[in-house]
């Protein structure tokens, strides 16, 4: 045994020495790796906890907060990165910062008719809605205005061109899309001529909207005396949000046009292959001054030039019976003005609500308001386009219809061409017109301009147009919505997931 032991022990000793040497040399690298791995795990854990804590504190919707917390904690690195990239709303702070960079807000001339006026006796029941608007909108409710609906480009464009051709002092035009087609060239020619005879002509076109066609309005106006500015020029990477979706034309500070209509042949329906039906409005009276102010605020943002002269705000006579308030809304505002006004109007409705909109992606408060009003016995009619120019928006919209239908809301589908018309009427008394749609992009992400109107005659005109649209439309039944094939339901459900960004 001793002989055997003497033979084995040196071998074991050699193996042990080799093992010891390996433990001395290898663990040094392994220890570093372990330390680095530990630091990395700690950093990822810290990032996940910070991101989850940020979602917990800042997300208003508990379901959204819970979803982001689970995402941050369950998916290392990518969960927090996805949260900071998609889950954090930087729209408000970015818009406020860009407006601050444009300079101080100018002091406008004192408003004529800026005194508080009572509602007519037959509209007194809307006093809560009026009080809400007074608190969230800086513009006053101004009496003495007249608003004329203009249907499609066939009615709107001749009236707008006539106003430009008759201008003597200033022409201010703001639009989202300005096509370079025949209609666009008619407008650029009229603007050129007005500037050539000494009229101050200023044009703002959204930098994303101007990319819709070639040549652009900027190119068509090049070399003229027209002052042209692109709203929020696209930077590397671009911004699909924070777009200027307003449509405003103010001539000599005395006559204005607004609504949902852009500049282009697409709004001409009396031609082969019509594309878009729409409604625009001519405004005269003291409220024109608020449209002028809105344009000049956008001009200050786009160019950094403050225009506050009295020549832009002439005395405006009383020309009608409508009480009108300008509602200028956008992601830079402290309140979601339009959203609150729409909810307030629905809550004040007693008999009927008519909503005509091309894009309908409601949030939970809007669905609740519509359902609550319907259960109170208010007749609610929602008119949507049968064929949308943005299919994925229509897919997402379909997922919201069943909940409204089962509670009594009637929904109608207008036949082609695509109907871009947007307005809302409550009880044949109060109306909302302008550029905003009932979707997150209009109510949260874009700059919009609307008018709320207290006037029965005007409301009845809109209701008559709504009745014509309903008569030409097909009612969408709940059985039809529920009977969609499974692949279609899945497609629509996926689109709904992206509804906050549509």
What is the arithmetic mean of pLDDT over 258-284? 93
Angle formed by the axes of helices 364-375 and 337-348, nearest 10° = 10
More confident residue, 445 or 473: 473
Q: What angle do CA 357, 362, 363 make, to 5 degrees?
A: 155
pLDDT at 255 over 70: yes
Q: How far apart are the first and last CA of the chain?
A: 87
pLDDT confidence of residue 453: 98
pLDDT at 254 over 70: yes
- Cβ atoms 302, 204 nearer than 8 A: yes
Residues 72 and 126 in one domain: no
Q: How far is CA 316 from the centre of its chain?
A: 31
Residues 102 and 205 in one domain: yes
Distance (Å, whole) CA 359 – CA 128: 28
Which pLDDT tens digit goes with each residue over 110-143?
554 455 789 999 999 999 999 999 999 989 999 9
What is the arithmetic mean of pLDDT over 139-158? 96
Distance (Å, whole) CA 495 – CA 398: 10
Residues 65 and 105 in one domain: no
Q: Which of 88, 119, 148 is the last residue in one of the domains?
A: 88
CATH for 263 = 3.30.870.10
pLDDT at 417 over 70: yes
What is the arithmetic mean of pLDDT over 430-437? 97
pLDDT confidence of residue 51: 84
Q: Quick count: other Cβ atoms within 10 Å of Cβ 202?
A: 24
Domain that holds residue 80: 2-88
The token pair that represents 133 in the structure block: 């608007």
pLDDT confidence of residue 97: 63
Residues 284 and 351 in one domain: yes
Residues 80 and 96 in one domain: no
Q: What's the mean per-residue pLDDT of the chain?
A: 87
Proportion of the chain in helix, strand, coil states, percent, rounded to 5 = 50, 20, 30
Distance (Å, whole) CA 161 – CA 159: 6
Which pLDDT tens digit goes with each residue over 192-204?
999 999 999 999 9
Cis peptide preceding 417, ω within 30 of 0: yes
What is the arithmetic mean of pLDDT over 421-445? 93
What is the arithmetic mean of pLDDT over 165-185? 96
What proportion of the chain, given as a percentage, has pLDDT over 90? 63
Residues 84 and 96 in one domain: no
Q: How many domains does the chain have?
A: 2
Cis peptide preceding 364, ω within 30 of 0: no
What pLDDT band is residue 271 in, cutting at 50, 70 and 90?
confident
pLDDT confidence of residue 92: 55
Q: Which spans in 59-146 are helix H?
A: 62-74, 78-82, 91-102, 127-136
Residues 144 and 15 in one domain: no
Q: How far is CA 330 from the centre of its chain?
A: 8
What proportion of the chain, given as a percentage, has pLDDT over 70? 84
Cβ-proximal residues to 246 (8 Å cutoff; 6+ apart), any chain: 174, 175, 176, 258, 294, 298, 328, 435, 447, 448, 449
Lowest mean pLDDT segment, chosen from 265-279, 297-311, 453-467: 297-311
Residues 11 and 152 in one domain: no
Question: Of the candidates 167, 151, 232, which has an alpha carbon nearest to the alpha carbon of residue 202?
Answer: 167
CA atoms lying within 13 Å on the CB side of residue 290: 26
Q: Which of 59, 88, 117 is the last residue in one of the domains?
A: 88
Cβ-proximal residues to 331 (8 Å cutoff; 6+ apart), any chain: 91, 92, 94, 95, 241, 242, 444, 445, 446, 447
Tell me, yes or no, whether 305 lies in a domain: yes
- Cβ atoms 260, 245 nearer than 8 A: no
Lowest mean pLDDT segment, chosen from 47-51, 78-82, 314-318: 78-82
Residues 310 and 342 in one domain: yes
The token pair that represents 117 in the structure block: 């006026």
pLDDT confidence of residue 36: 81
In terms of Cβ atoms closer than 10 Å to its own Cβ (0-12, 13-18, 19+), residue 433 is: buried
The token pair that represents 298 in the structure block: 């956008």
Q: Quick count: other Cβ atoms within 10 Å of Cβ 182?
A: 10
More confident residue, 89 or 39: 39
Tell me, yes or no, whether 363 lies in a domain: no
Distance (Å, whole) CA 116 – CA 131: 11
Residues 96 and 53 in one domain: no
Q: What is the pTM of this model?
A: 0.84
Distance (Å, whole) CA 253 – CA 255: 6
Residues 318 and 300 in one domain: yes
More confident residue, 287 or 46: 287
Strands 352-356, 379-385: pairing is parallel
More confident residue, 90 or 416: 416
């Amino acid at each position: 045994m001793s002989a055997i032991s003497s033979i084995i022990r040196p071998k074991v000793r050699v193996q042990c020495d080799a093992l010891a040497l390996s433990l001395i040399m290898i663990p040094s690298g392994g220890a570093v790796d372990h330390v680095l791995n530990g630091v990395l795990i700690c950093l990822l854990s810290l990032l996940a906890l910070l991101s989850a804590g940020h979602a917990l504190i800042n997300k208003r919707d508990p379901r959204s907060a819970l979803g982001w917390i689970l995402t941050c904690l369950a998916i290392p690195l990518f969960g927090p990165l996805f949260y900071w990239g998609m889950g954090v709303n930087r729209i408000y702070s970015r818009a406020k910062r860009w407006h601050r960079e444009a300079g101080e807000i100018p002091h406008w001339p004192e408003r004529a008719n800026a005194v508080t006026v009572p509602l007519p006796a037959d509209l007194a029941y809307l006093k809560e809605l009026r009080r809400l608007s007074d608190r969230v909108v800086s513009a006053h409710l101004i009496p003495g205005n007249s608003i004329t609906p203009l249907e499609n480009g066939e009615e709107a464009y001749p009236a707008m061109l006539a106003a430009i051709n008759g201008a003597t002092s200033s022409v201010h035009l703001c639009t989202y899309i300005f096509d370079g087609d025949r209609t666009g060239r008619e407008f650029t020619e009229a603007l050129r001529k007005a500037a050539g005879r000494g009229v101050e002509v200023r044009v703002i076109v959204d930098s994303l909207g101007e990319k819709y066609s070639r040549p652009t309005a900027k190119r068509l106006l090049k070399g003229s005396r027209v002052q042209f500015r692109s709203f929020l020029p696209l930077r590397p990477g671009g911004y699909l949000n924070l777009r200027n979706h307003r449509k405003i034309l103010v001539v000599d500070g005395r006559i204005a046009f607004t609504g949902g209509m852009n500049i282009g042949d697409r709004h001409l329906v009396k031609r082969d292959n019509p594309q878009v039906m729409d409604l625009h409005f001519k405004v005269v009276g003291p409220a024109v001054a608020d449209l002028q102010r809105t344009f000049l605020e956008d001009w200050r943002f786009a160019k950094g030039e403050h225009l506050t002269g009295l020549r832009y705000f002439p005395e405006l006579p009383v020309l009608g019976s409508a009480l009108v308030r300008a509602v200028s809304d956008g992601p830079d505002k402290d309140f979601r003005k339009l959203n609150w006004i729409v909810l307030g109007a629905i809550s004040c409705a007693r008999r009927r609500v008519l909503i005509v909109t091309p894009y309908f992606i409601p949030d939970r408060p809007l669905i609740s308001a519509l359902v609550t009003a319907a259960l109170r016995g208010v007749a609610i009619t929602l008119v949507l386009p049968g064929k949308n120019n943005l299919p994925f928006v229509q897919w997402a919209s379909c997922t919201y219809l069943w909940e409204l239908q089962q509670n009594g809301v009637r929904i109608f589908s207008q036949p082609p061409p695509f109907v871009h018309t947007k307005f809302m009427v409550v009880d044949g008394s109060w109306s909302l017109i302008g550029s905003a749609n009932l979707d997150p992009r209009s109510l949260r992400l874009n700059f919009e301009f609307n008018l709320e109107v207290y006037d029965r005659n005007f409301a009845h005109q809109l209701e008559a147009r709504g009745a014509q649209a309903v008569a030409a439309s097909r009612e969408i039944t709940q059985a039809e919505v529920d009977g969609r094939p499974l692949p279609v339901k899945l497609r629509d459900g996926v689109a709904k997931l992206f509804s906050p960004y549509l």
